[in-house]
Structure 1
Amino acid sequence: MKKKVLNSLHSAYKFSNSWTGTIIIVLFVIFFVAQAFRIPSGSMKDSLLIGDHLFAKKFAYGISTPHIPFLEIPLIPGTDGHILDGDEPKRGDIVIFRYPNNTQLHYVKRCVALPGDELFVMDKVLYIHPHEGDEYIRKAFAGSEFVEIEGKLWVKNPYIAQHPGIHNDERIVNDGMMPMEIFNFGPVVVPEKQYFMMGDNRDHSNDSRFWGAVPYGLIEGTPWFVYFSMDDDYVVRWDRIGKTPSDLEQKGPLDRAIAERVRQDANDHELY
Protein backbone atom coordinates (compact mmCIF):
# COMPACT_ATOMS: atom_id res chain seq x y z
CA MET A 1 0.00 0.00 0.00
CA LYS A 2 2.80 2.38 0.95
CA LYS A 3 4.62 1.56 -2.29
CA LYS A 4 1.45 2.33 -4.31
CA VAL A 5 1.09 5.71 -2.64
CA LEU A 6 4.74 6.55 -3.27
CA ASN A 7 4.44 5.52 -6.92
CA SER A 8 1.33 7.68 -7.31
CA LEU A 9 3.07 10.66 -5.74
CA HIS A 10 6.10 10.14 -7.97
CA SER A 11 3.88 9.98 -11.07
CA ALA A 12 2.03 13.14 -10.02
CA TYR A 13 5.35 14.90 -9.42
CA LYS A 14 6.65 13.89 -12.86
CA PHE A 15 3.39 15.02 -14.49
CA SER A 16 3.51 18.40 -12.72
CA ASN A 17 7.04 18.96 -14.04
CA SER A 18 6.03 18.24 -17.63
CA TRP A 19 4.93 21.02 -19.99
CA THR A 20 1.41 19.61 -20.12
CA GLY A 21 1.16 19.31 -16.35
CA THR A 22 2.53 22.81 -15.78
CA ILE A 23 0.05 24.35 -18.24
CA ILE A 24 -2.89 22.48 -16.66
CA ILE A 25 -1.87 23.54 -13.14
CA VAL A 26 -1.37 27.18 -14.16
CA LEU A 27 -4.73 27.29 -15.95
CA PHE A 28 -6.46 25.66 -12.98
CA VAL A 29 -5.06 28.32 -10.65
CA ILE A 30 -6.00 31.16 -13.04
CA PHE A 31 -9.51 29.83 -13.65
CA PHE A 32 -10.48 28.82 -10.12
CA VAL A 33 -8.07 30.07 -7.44
CA ALA A 34 -6.22 33.34 -8.08
CA GLN A 35 -5.71 35.64 -11.04
CA ALA A 36 -3.32 38.55 -11.42
CA PHE A 37 -5.08 41.89 -11.74
CA ARG A 38 -3.75 45.42 -12.14
CA ILE A 39 -5.67 48.44 -10.84
CA PRO A 40 -6.07 50.47 -14.05
CA SER A 41 -7.76 53.63 -12.79
CA GLY A 42 -8.14 55.89 -9.77
CA SER A 43 -11.76 55.11 -8.91
CA MET A 44 -10.77 53.20 -5.74
CA LYS A 45 -8.33 55.75 -4.32
CA ASP A 46 -7.37 55.90 -1.50
CA SER A 47 -7.94 52.21 -0.78
CA LEU A 48 -6.40 50.87 -4.00
CA LEU A 49 -4.10 52.91 -6.24
CA ILE A 50 -3.28 52.96 -9.93
CA GLY A 51 -0.32 50.63 -10.34
CA ASP A 52 -1.30 48.21 -7.56
CA HIS A 53 -0.84 44.67 -8.91
CA LEU A 54 -2.84 42.19 -6.90
CA PHE A 55 -4.11 38.66 -6.88
CA ALA A 56 -7.88 38.29 -7.11
CA LYS A 57 -9.45 35.59 -4.95
CA LYS A 58 -11.53 33.84 -7.62
CA PHE A 59 -13.50 31.54 -5.31
CA ALA A 60 -14.81 34.21 -2.92
CA TYR A 61 -18.31 34.31 -4.48
CA GLY A 62 -18.69 30.90 -6.08
CA ILE A 63 -16.93 29.62 -9.19
CA SER A 64 -17.20 31.98 -12.15
CA THR A 65 -17.19 30.66 -15.71
CA PRO A 66 -13.57 30.28 -16.90
CA HIS A 67 -12.50 32.56 -19.73
CA ILE A 68 -9.56 32.17 -22.09
CA PRO A 69 -6.88 34.58 -20.81
CA PHE A 70 -6.44 37.80 -22.81
CA LEU A 71 -9.18 36.83 -25.31
CA GLU A 72 -11.83 36.74 -22.52
CA ILE A 73 -13.85 34.09 -24.37
CA PRO A 74 -15.93 31.86 -22.04
CA LEU A 75 -14.88 28.21 -22.06
CA ILE A 76 -18.39 27.09 -21.12
CA PRO A 77 -20.88 29.07 -23.23
CA GLY A 78 -24.48 29.36 -22.11
CA THR A 79 -23.91 29.79 -18.37
CA ASP A 80 -25.15 32.83 -16.46
CA GLY A 81 -21.55 33.70 -15.58
CA HIS A 82 -21.05 31.10 -12.83
CA ILE A 83 -20.65 27.35 -12.99
CA LEU A 84 -21.18 27.10 -9.23
CA ASP A 85 -22.93 29.68 -7.08
CA GLY A 86 -21.47 30.57 -3.71
CA ASP A 87 -21.53 33.40 -1.18
CA GLU A 88 -22.87 36.75 -2.27
CA PRO A 89 -20.90 39.95 -1.78
CA LYS A 90 -21.42 41.62 1.57
CA ARG A 91 -22.05 45.31 2.07
CA GLY A 92 -18.67 47.02 2.13
CA ASP A 93 -16.78 44.31 0.20
CA ILE A 94 -14.39 45.33 -2.58
CA VAL A 95 -15.52 43.33 -5.61
CA ILE A 96 -13.92 42.53 -8.97
CA PHE A 97 -16.54 42.06 -11.69
CA ARG A 98 -17.12 42.22 -15.41
CA TYR A 99 -18.40 45.57 -16.62
CA PRO A 100 -22.08 45.05 -17.59
CA ASN A 101 -21.75 47.10 -20.79
CA ASN A 102 -18.62 45.25 -21.95
CA THR A 103 -18.00 41.92 -20.23
CA GLN A 104 -14.44 41.71 -21.57
CA LEU A 105 -13.48 44.50 -19.14
CA HIS A 106 -12.92 44.00 -15.43
CA TYR A 107 -13.88 46.70 -12.93
CA VAL A 108 -13.16 46.93 -9.22
CA LYS A 109 -15.52 48.85 -6.91
CA ARG A 110 -17.01 48.57 -3.43
CA CYS A 111 -20.38 46.89 -2.97
CA VAL A 112 -22.57 49.42 -1.15
CA ALA A 113 -26.01 47.80 -1.44
CA LEU A 114 -27.48 44.31 -1.79
CA PRO A 115 -30.60 43.06 -3.62
CA GLY A 116 -33.69 44.70 -2.14
CA ASP A 117 -31.76 47.55 -0.48
CA GLU A 118 -32.84 51.12 -1.20
CA LEU A 119 -30.37 53.94 -1.64
CA PHE A 120 -30.00 57.50 -2.77
CA VAL A 121 -27.28 60.15 -2.96
CA MET A 122 -28.00 63.72 -1.85
CA ASP A 123 -25.38 66.46 -1.93
CA LYS A 124 -22.72 63.76 -2.53
CA VAL A 125 -23.74 61.85 0.62
CA LEU A 126 -24.80 58.19 0.31
CA TYR A 127 -27.86 56.99 2.22
CA ILE A 128 -28.96 53.34 2.31
CA HIS A 129 -31.98 51.52 3.74
CA PRO A 130 -31.04 47.83 4.00
CA HIS A 131 -33.86 45.48 3.07
CA GLU A 132 -33.79 43.76 6.49
CA GLY A 133 -35.59 46.74 8.04
CA ASP A 134 -35.19 49.28 10.82
CA GLU A 135 -34.51 46.89 13.73
CA TYR A 136 -31.69 45.23 11.81
CA ILE A 137 -30.31 48.63 10.79
CA ARG A 138 -30.04 49.82 14.40
CA LYS A 139 -28.07 46.70 15.38
CA ALA A 140 -25.91 46.18 12.28
CA PHE A 141 -25.00 49.85 11.87
CA ALA A 142 -24.71 50.80 15.54
CA GLY A 143 -22.57 53.90 15.80
CA SER A 144 -23.56 55.16 12.36
CA GLU A 145 -25.64 58.27 11.79
CA PHE A 146 -29.31 57.56 11.04
CA VAL A 147 -31.89 59.70 9.29
CA GLU A 148 -35.63 58.95 9.37
CA ILE A 149 -37.49 59.84 6.19
CA GLU A 150 -41.19 59.09 5.76
CA GLY A 151 -41.10 56.45 8.49
CA LYS A 152 -37.99 54.66 7.16
CA LEU A 153 -34.57 54.58 8.76
CA TRP A 154 -31.66 55.43 6.47
CA VAL A 155 -27.95 55.03 7.22
CA LYS A 156 -25.90 58.10 6.30
CA ASN A 157 -22.47 57.41 4.75
CA PRO A 158 -22.52 53.84 6.12
CA TYR A 159 -18.98 52.70 5.21
CA ILE A 160 -16.67 55.63 5.87
CA ALA A 161 -15.89 54.73 9.50
CA GLN A 162 -14.82 51.17 8.60
CA HIS A 163 -13.20 52.10 5.28
CA PRO A 164 -11.43 55.44 5.65
CA GLY A 165 -10.18 55.35 2.05
CA ILE A 166 -13.66 56.44 0.94
CA HIS A 167 -13.74 60.17 0.29
CA ASN A 168 -15.27 63.03 -1.68
CA ASP A 169 -13.35 65.63 -3.64
CA GLU A 170 -13.97 69.05 -2.14
CA ARG A 171 -12.95 70.70 -5.42
CA ILE A 172 -15.88 69.13 -7.26
CA VAL A 173 -18.89 71.43 -6.89
CA ASN A 174 -22.31 71.42 -8.50
CA ASP A 175 -21.45 73.84 -11.29
CA GLY A 176 -22.80 71.86 -14.25
CA MET A 177 -19.36 70.56 -15.25
CA MET A 178 -19.84 67.10 -13.70
CA PRO A 179 -22.78 64.66 -14.13
CA MET A 180 -25.66 65.25 -11.72
CA GLU A 181 -25.40 61.64 -10.47
CA ILE A 182 -22.27 62.71 -8.56
CA PHE A 183 -24.34 65.08 -6.43
CA ASN A 184 -27.85 63.62 -6.40
CA PHE A 185 -29.05 60.17 -7.42
CA GLY A 186 -32.08 57.97 -6.76
CA PRO A 187 -33.77 56.77 -4.71
CA VAL A 188 -33.61 53.29 -6.28
CA VAL A 189 -34.25 49.73 -5.13
CA VAL A 190 -31.47 47.29 -6.06
CA PRO A 191 -32.96 44.51 -8.26
CA GLU A 192 -32.93 40.84 -7.25
CA LYS A 193 -29.55 39.06 -7.68
CA GLN A 194 -27.83 42.40 -8.41
CA TYR A 195 -25.39 44.52 -6.42
CA PHE A 196 -24.85 48.27 -6.36
CA MET A 197 -21.18 49.23 -6.77
CA MET A 198 -19.45 52.56 -6.09
CA GLY A 199 -15.82 53.63 -6.15
CA ASP A 200 -14.15 54.90 -2.98
CA ASN A 201 -13.04 57.96 -4.97
CA ARG A 202 -16.69 58.97 -4.98
CA ASP A 203 -16.58 62.08 -7.17
CA HIS A 204 -14.40 60.46 -9.85
CA SER A 205 -15.96 57.01 -10.11
CA ASN A 206 -17.85 55.71 -13.12
CA ASP A 207 -20.03 53.19 -11.31
CA SER A 208 -23.58 51.88 -10.72
CA ARG A 209 -24.92 55.41 -10.51
CA PHE A 210 -24.33 55.65 -14.28
CA TRP A 211 -24.85 52.11 -15.65
CA GLY A 212 -26.86 50.25 -13.03
CA ALA A 213 -26.33 47.44 -10.56
CA VAL A 214 -24.14 44.41 -11.34
CA PRO A 215 -25.74 40.97 -11.83
CA TYR A 216 -24.34 38.16 -9.68
CA GLY A 217 -23.22 36.29 -12.80
CA LEU A 218 -20.70 39.02 -13.64
CA ILE A 219 -18.99 38.94 -10.25
CA GLU A 220 -15.50 37.40 -10.45
CA GLY A 221 -13.95 37.72 -7.01
CA THR A 222 -12.33 40.06 -4.52
CA PRO A 223 -8.79 41.48 -4.13
CA TRP A 224 -6.60 39.13 -2.08
CA PHE A 225 -3.28 40.92 -1.60
CA VAL A 226 -0.94 43.26 -3.47
CA TYR A 227 2.11 41.48 -4.92
CA PHE A 228 3.63 44.56 -6.58
CA SER A 229 2.94 48.30 -6.73
CA MET A 230 4.51 51.16 -8.69
CA ASP A 231 3.47 54.79 -9.03
CA ASP A 232 3.37 56.96 -12.18
CA ASP A 233 7.01 57.92 -11.67
CA TYR A 234 8.06 54.24 -11.72
CA VAL A 235 8.84 54.28 -8.02
CA VAL A 236 8.08 50.99 -6.28
CA ARG A 237 5.68 51.36 -3.35
CA TRP A 238 7.40 48.86 -1.08
CA ASP A 239 5.04 49.55 1.83
CA ARG A 240 2.06 48.20 -0.16
CA ILE A 241 3.58 44.88 -1.27
CA GLY A 242 2.14 41.85 0.51
CA LYS A 243 -0.71 43.88 2.01
CA THR A 244 -4.40 42.97 1.91
CA PRO A 245 -7.04 45.67 1.28
CA SER A 246 -7.69 45.76 5.04
CA ASP A 247 -3.98 46.30 5.71
CA LEU A 248 -3.91 49.18 3.22
CA GLU A 249 -6.68 50.98 5.11
CA GLN A 250 -4.55 51.21 8.25
CA LYS A 251 -2.63 54.29 9.32
CA GLY A 252 0.62 54.47 7.42
CA PRO A 253 -0.19 53.02 3.98
CA LEU A 254 -3.44 55.00 3.86
CA ASP A 255 -1.75 58.25 4.94
CA ARG A 256 0.84 57.84 2.18
CA ALA A 257 -1.89 57.02 -0.37
CA ILE A 258 -3.79 60.19 0.56
CA ALA A 259 -0.62 62.28 0.29
CA GLU A 260 0.11 60.79 -3.14
CA ARG A 261 -3.41 61.58 -4.36
CA VAL A 262 -3.29 65.16 -3.12
CA ARG A 263 0.10 65.69 -4.73
CA GLN A 264 -0.57 64.05 -8.12
CA ASP A 265 -4.26 64.69 -8.79
CA ALA A 266 -4.46 68.44 -8.31
CA ASN A 267 -5.97 68.99 -11.76
CA ASP A 268 -7.99 65.79 -12.03
CA HIS A 269 -11.69 66.28 -12.85
CA GLU A 270 -12.34 63.02 -14.71
CA LEU A 271 -14.56 59.98 -14.19
CA TYR A 272 -12.96 56.54 -14.37
Structure 2
Amino acid sequence: MKFLGSLYRFSSSWVGTICIVLFIILFVAQAFVIPSGSMRVTLLEGDFLFVKKFSYGIPTPHIPFIEVPVAPDSDGDGHLFQGKRPQRGDIVVFRYPKDEKIHYVKRNFAVGGDEVIFDLDNFYLRPNEGDEFIEQNYDKSDIVILNGQKYVKEPYKFKGINYNPHFRNAMRASMLGNLERKSLAMRPIMVAESEKVYEYGSVKFNAFYIKVPQDEFFMIGDNRNNSGDSRYWGTVPYRLIVGKPWFTYFSIDPDKKIRWERIGRFIDTLQSDESLIYEQK
Protein backbone atom coordinates (compact mmCIF):
# COMPACT_ATOMS: atom_id res chain seq x y z
CA MET A 1 0.00 0.00 0.00
CA LYS A 2 2.87 2.35 0.80
CA PHE A 3 4.31 1.69 -2.65
CA LEU A 4 0.97 2.39 -4.32
CA GLY A 5 0.63 5.62 -2.37
CA SER A 6 4.10 6.73 -3.42
CA LEU A 7 3.33 5.81 -7.03
CA TYR A 8 0.11 7.83 -6.94
CA ARG A 9 1.87 10.89 -5.51
CA PHE A 10 4.61 10.61 -8.14
CA SER A 11 2.11 10.28 -10.98
CA SER A 12 0.21 13.30 -9.65
CA SER A 13 3.32 15.50 -9.67
CA TRP A 14 4.55 17.51 -12.65
CA VAL A 15 7.60 15.27 -13.03
CA GLY A 16 5.44 12.15 -12.86
CA THR A 17 2.99 13.50 -15.42
CA ILE A 18 5.82 14.34 -17.83
CA CYS A 19 7.34 10.87 -17.37
CA ILE A 20 4.01 9.18 -18.06
CA VAL A 21 3.36 11.31 -21.15
CA LEU A 22 6.87 10.61 -22.48
CA PHE A 23 6.46 6.90 -21.85
CA ILE A 24 3.20 6.87 -23.83
CA ILE A 25 4.67 8.90 -26.71
CA LEU A 26 7.87 6.86 -26.90
CA PHE A 27 6.46 3.37 -26.45
CA VAL A 28 2.66 3.24 -26.74
CA ALA A 29 1.03 5.78 -29.06
CA GLN A 30 2.16 8.75 -31.13
CA ALA A 31 0.16 11.47 -32.82
CA PHE A 32 0.28 11.59 -36.61
CA VAL A 33 -1.51 13.78 -39.14
CA ILE A 34 -2.34 12.76 -42.71
CA PRO A 35 -0.45 15.37 -44.77
CA SER A 36 -1.34 14.37 -48.33
CA GLY A 37 -3.95 12.67 -50.47
CA SER A 38 -2.09 9.40 -51.14
CA MET A 39 -4.46 7.40 -48.91
CA ARG A 40 -7.63 9.21 -49.98
CA VAL A 41 -10.37 8.17 -49.69
CA THR A 42 -9.65 5.77 -46.82
CA LEU A 43 -7.71 8.36 -44.84
CA LEU A 44 -8.12 12.04 -45.63
CA GLU A 45 -5.85 15.05 -45.45
CA GLY A 46 -6.44 16.59 -42.04
CA ASP A 47 -7.15 13.31 -40.23
CA PHE A 48 -5.25 13.35 -36.93
CA LEU A 49 -4.42 9.83 -35.81
CA PHE A 50 -2.92 8.02 -32.89
CA VAL A 51 -0.45 5.40 -34.07
CA LYS A 52 -0.27 2.16 -32.08
CA LYS A 53 3.49 1.73 -31.74
CA PHE A 54 3.43 -1.79 -30.30
CA SER A 55 1.64 -3.39 -33.26
CA TYR A 56 4.81 -4.78 -34.81
CA GLY A 57 7.18 -4.88 -31.87
CA ILE A 58 8.55 -1.90 -29.94
CA PRO A 59 10.39 0.49 -32.28
CA THR A 60 13.48 2.27 -31.05
CA PRO A 61 12.11 5.43 -29.38
CA HIS A 62 12.91 8.81 -30.91
CA ILE A 63 12.50 12.29 -29.46
CA PRO A 64 9.44 13.77 -31.21
CA PHE A 65 9.96 16.49 -33.86
CA ILE A 66 13.77 16.21 -33.96
CA GLU A 67 13.59 12.42 -34.34
CA VAL A 68 16.79 11.68 -32.44
CA PRO A 69 16.90 8.09 -31.08
CA VAL A 70 17.01 7.88 -27.29
CA ALA A 71 18.16 4.26 -27.16
CA PRO A 72 20.84 2.36 -29.09
CA ASP A 73 19.82 0.09 -31.96
CA SER A 74 22.52 -2.48 -31.32
CA ASP A 75 21.23 -5.14 -33.72
CA GLY A 76 20.19 -2.69 -36.44
CA ASP A 77 16.57 -3.85 -36.69
CA GLY A 78 15.11 -0.51 -35.57
CA HIS A 79 13.27 -2.07 -32.62
CA LEU A 80 13.89 -2.60 -28.92
CA PHE A 81 11.81 -5.76 -29.18
CA GLN A 82 10.82 -7.43 -32.43
CA GLY A 83 7.21 -8.40 -33.04
CA LYS A 84 5.01 -9.74 -35.77
CA ARG A 85 5.52 -8.25 -39.20
CA PRO A 86 2.96 -6.18 -41.12
CA GLN A 87 0.44 -8.42 -42.86
CA ARG A 88 -0.73 -8.08 -46.42
CA GLY A 89 -3.41 -5.40 -46.60
CA ASP A 90 -2.45 -3.65 -43.33
CA ILE A 91 -2.30 0.14 -43.21
CA VAL A 92 1.13 0.90 -41.75
CA VAL A 93 3.05 3.94 -40.48
CA PHE A 94 6.76 3.80 -41.26
CA ARG A 95 9.83 5.94 -41.74
CA TYR A 96 10.37 7.10 -45.29
CA PRO A 97 13.41 5.19 -46.65
CA LYS A 98 14.81 8.30 -48.36
CA ASP A 99 14.58 10.44 -45.20
CA GLU A 100 14.07 8.47 -42.00
CA LYS A 101 12.96 11.52 -40.02
CA ILE A 102 9.75 11.66 -42.07
CA HIS A 103 6.80 9.38 -41.34
CA TYR A 104 4.62 7.96 -44.11
CA VAL A 105 1.38 5.97 -44.02
CA LYS A 106 0.51 3.49 -46.78
CA ARG A 107 -1.10 0.10 -47.28
CA ASN A 108 1.17 -2.92 -47.26
CA PHE A 109 0.57 -4.61 -50.60
CA ALA A 110 3.19 -7.38 -50.42
CA VAL A 111 5.63 -9.02 -48.00
CA GLY A 112 9.08 -10.54 -48.43
CA GLY A 113 9.25 -13.11 -51.21
CA ASP A 114 6.05 -11.90 -52.91
CA GLU A 115 6.06 -10.78 -56.53
CA VAL A 116 4.19 -7.69 -57.74
CA ILE A 117 3.21 -6.62 -61.25
CA PHE A 118 1.73 -3.22 -62.10
CA ASP A 119 0.42 -2.66 -65.62
CA LEU A 120 -0.37 1.06 -65.16
CA ASP A 121 -4.02 0.19 -64.61
CA ASN A 122 -4.02 -2.61 -62.02
CA PHE A 123 -1.83 -4.26 -59.42
CA TYR A 124 -1.26 -8.00 -59.31
CA LEU A 125 0.13 -10.04 -56.41
CA ARG A 126 1.84 -13.44 -56.42
CA PRO A 127 2.17 -14.49 -52.76
CA ASN A 128 5.38 -16.33 -51.95
CA GLU A 129 3.38 -19.33 -50.68
CA GLY A 130 2.60 -20.32 -54.27
CA ASP A 131 -0.26 -21.65 -56.35
CA GLU A 132 -2.02 -23.79 -53.74
CA PHE A 133 -2.13 -20.86 -51.30
CA ILE A 134 -3.54 -18.62 -54.02
CA GLU A 135 -6.27 -21.09 -54.91
CA GLN A 136 -7.28 -21.57 -51.26
CA ASN A 137 -7.26 -17.93 -50.18
CA TYR A 138 -8.44 -15.82 -53.11
CA ASP A 139 -11.56 -15.61 -55.23
CA LYS A 140 -11.19 -17.58 -58.44
CA SER A 141 -12.45 -14.61 -60.46
CA ASP A 142 -9.42 -12.61 -59.27
CA ILE A 143 -6.81 -15.21 -60.24
CA VAL A 144 -5.07 -14.54 -63.55
CA ILE A 145 -2.12 -15.97 -65.45
CA LEU A 146 0.78 -13.60 -66.13
CA ASN A 147 3.89 -14.95 -67.86
CA GLY A 148 2.71 -18.47 -67.08
CA GLN A 149 2.28 -17.93 -63.33
CA LYS A 150 -0.77 -17.38 -61.15
CA TYR A 151 -1.30 -13.86 -59.79
CA VAL A 152 -4.15 -12.25 -57.88
CA LYS A 153 -5.61 -9.13 -59.47
CA GLU A 154 -6.31 -6.38 -56.91
CA PRO A 155 -6.37 -8.71 -53.89
CA TYR A 156 -7.62 -6.10 -51.36
CA LYS A 157 -11.28 -5.13 -51.52
CA PHE A 158 -11.38 -2.11 -49.22
CA LYS A 159 -13.82 0.48 -50.54
CA GLY A 160 -11.32 3.34 -50.35
CA ILE A 161 -8.85 1.82 -52.81
CA ASN A 162 -9.24 3.66 -56.11
CA TYR A 163 -7.64 4.71 -59.39
CA ASN A 164 -8.65 8.35 -59.67
CA PRO A 165 -8.92 9.02 -63.45
CA HIS A 166 -7.98 12.69 -62.93
CA PHE A 167 -4.41 11.65 -62.06
CA ARG A 168 -4.02 8.76 -64.52
CA ASN A 169 -1.96 10.62 -67.10
CA ALA A 170 0.20 12.29 -64.45
CA MET A 171 0.93 8.93 -62.83
CA ARG A 172 1.93 7.39 -66.15
CA ALA A 173 4.19 10.35 -66.94
CA SER A 174 5.77 10.05 -63.50
CA MET A 175 6.43 6.32 -63.94
CA LEU A 176 7.99 6.88 -67.36
CA GLY A 177 10.02 9.85 -66.14
CA ASN A 178 11.45 7.84 -63.27
CA LEU A 179 12.17 4.98 -65.66
CA GLU A 180 14.15 7.35 -67.87
CA ARG A 181 16.11 8.64 -64.86
CA LYS A 182 16.71 5.06 -63.70
CA SER A 183 15.16 5.93 -60.36
CA LEU A 184 12.19 3.58 -60.53
CA ALA A 185 12.15 0.70 -58.05
CA MET A 186 10.14 -1.56 -60.35
CA ARG A 187 11.62 -2.81 -63.63
CA PRO A 188 9.80 -2.87 -66.97
CA ILE A 189 8.75 -6.28 -68.28
CA MET A 190 6.71 -7.79 -71.09
CA VAL A 191 3.69 -9.81 -69.94
CA ALA A 192 2.94 -12.33 -72.66
CA GLU A 193 -0.77 -12.54 -71.86
CA SER A 194 -1.30 -8.80 -72.31
CA GLU A 195 -1.93 -7.21 -75.67
CA LYS A 196 -0.63 -3.82 -74.51
CA VAL A 197 2.79 -2.68 -75.66
CA TYR A 198 4.51 0.50 -74.56
CA GLU A 199 7.72 1.86 -75.98
CA TYR A 200 10.10 4.17 -74.22
CA GLY A 201 13.25 4.73 -76.20
CA SER A 202 14.57 1.27 -77.04
CA VAL A 203 12.60 -0.36 -74.22
CA LYS A 204 9.41 -2.25 -75.00
CA PHE A 205 7.21 -3.23 -72.07
CA ASN A 206 3.63 -3.48 -70.90
CA ALA A 207 4.06 -3.73 -67.12
CA PHE A 208 6.42 -3.20 -64.21
CA TYR A 209 7.69 -5.92 -61.87
CA ILE A 210 9.35 -6.30 -58.46
CA LYS A 211 10.12 -9.17 -56.12
CA VAL A 212 10.03 -8.00 -52.52
CA PRO A 213 13.21 -8.75 -50.52
CA GLN A 214 12.90 -10.80 -47.34
CA ASP A 215 11.69 -8.88 -44.27
CA GLU A 216 10.73 -5.90 -46.42
CA PHE A 217 7.35 -4.59 -47.51
CA PHE A 218 5.87 -3.08 -50.68
CA MET A 219 3.84 -0.03 -49.57
CA ILE A 220 1.36 1.78 -51.81
CA GLY A 221 -1.30 4.44 -51.34
CA ASP A 222 -4.99 3.69 -51.69
CA ASN A 223 -5.17 6.63 -54.11
CA ARG A 224 -3.21 4.57 -56.62
CA ASN A 225 -2.86 7.21 -59.34
CA ASN A 226 -1.73 9.95 -56.97
CA SER A 227 0.68 8.34 -54.54
CA GLY A 228 4.45 8.44 -54.17
CA ASP A 229 5.19 4.96 -52.90
CA SER A 230 7.21 1.75 -53.29
CA ARG A 231 6.80 1.90 -57.06
CA TYR A 232 9.23 4.81 -57.01
CA TRP A 233 11.48 4.58 -53.94
CA GLY A 234 11.40 0.88 -53.21
CA THR A 235 10.41 -1.48 -50.45
CA VAL A 236 10.42 -0.68 -46.73
CA PRO A 237 12.61 -2.80 -44.40
CA TYR A 238 11.25 -3.94 -41.05
CA ARG A 239 13.65 -1.63 -39.19
CA LEU A 240 11.67 1.39 -40.49
CA ILE A 241 8.26 0.08 -39.41
CA VAL A 242 6.74 2.27 -36.67
CA GLY A 243 3.23 0.94 -36.08
CA LYS A 244 -0.37 0.80 -37.16
CA PRO A 245 -2.86 3.71 -37.23
CA TRP A 246 -5.22 3.26 -34.29
CA PHE A 247 -8.02 5.84 -34.32
CA THR A 248 -8.69 9.47 -35.27
CA TYR A 249 -8.72 11.96 -32.41
CA PHE A 250 -9.49 14.93 -34.66
CA SER A 251 -10.29 15.64 -38.32
CA ILE A 252 -10.57 18.87 -40.26
CA ASP A 253 -11.18 19.45 -43.96
CA PRO A 254 -9.35 21.94 -46.25
CA ASP A 255 -12.05 24.55 -45.54
CA LYS A 256 -11.25 24.32 -41.80
CA LYS A 257 -14.52 22.54 -41.04
CA ILE A 258 -14.38 19.85 -38.40
CA ARG A 259 -15.37 16.39 -39.62
CA TRP A 260 -17.20 15.36 -36.46
CA GLU A 261 -18.28 12.02 -37.95
CA ARG A 262 -14.63 10.88 -38.23
CA ILE A 263 -13.51 11.76 -34.71
CA GLY A 264 -12.99 8.78 -32.44
CA ARG A 265 -13.28 6.28 -35.27
CA PHE A 266 -10.98 3.28 -35.40
CA ILE A 267 -9.08 2.74 -38.64
CA ASP A 268 -10.92 -0.51 -39.35
CA THR A 269 -14.16 1.48 -39.29
CA LEU A 270 -12.79 4.19 -41.58
CA GLN A 271 -11.81 1.65 -44.22
CA SER A 272 -14.99 -0.43 -44.07
CA ASP A 273 -17.88 1.96 -43.31
CA GLU A 274 -19.04 3.25 -46.69
CA SER A 275 -20.68 6.31 -45.12
CA LEU A 276 -17.20 7.50 -44.09
CA ILE A 277 -15.55 6.91 -47.46
CA TYR A 278 -15.78 10.27 -49.22
CA GLU A 279 -16.10 10.68 -52.94
CA GLN A 280 -13.13 11.91 -54.91
CA LYS A 281 -12.95 15.61 -55.69
TM-score, normalisation: structure 2? 0.85
Unaligned runs of 5+ in 2: 177-183, 187-197, 199-205
Post-superposition CA distance 1:95-149 (Å, at most 9, x none) = 0000001000000000000000000101320001000001101112235511113
Amino acid at match of 1:178: S
Q: Which residue of 2 aligns with 1:40?
A: 35
1:111-130 to structure 2, matched below 5 A, reads 111-130=108-127
Structure-2 separation of matches of 1:198 and 1:225: 20
The equivalent position to 1:191 in structure 2, one of 199, 203, 213, is 213
Confirm or deny that 1:252 pairs with 2:275: yes
Q: Which residue of 2 aligns with 1:219?
A: 241
Amino acid at match of 1:52: D
Confirm or deny that 1:24 pairs with 2:54: no
Q: Which residue of 2 aligns with 1:167?
A: 162
Q: Which residue of 2 aligns with 1:229?
A: 251
The equivalent position to 1:12 in structure 2, one of 7, 15, 23, is 7
Q: How well do the aligned residues superpose, as a CA RMSD in angstroms?
A: 1.8
Unaligned runs of 5+ in 1: 1-5, 263-272
Q: Which residue of 2 aligns with 1:151?
A: 148
Q: Is the 8 A contact 2:167 2:226 kept in 1?
A: no
Structure-1 separation of matches of 2:94 and 2:225: 21
Identity %: 49
- What is the SS of the residue equivalent to 1:92? coil
Structure-2 separation of matches of 1:68 and 1:252: 37
Question: Offset at 1:70?
Answer: 1.1
Q: Which residue of 1 aligns with 2:104?
A: 107
- What is the SS of the residue equivalent to 1:217? helix
1:67-78 to structure 2, matched below 5 A, reads 67-78=62-73
Q: Is the 8 A contact 2:38 2:223 kept in 1?
A: yes
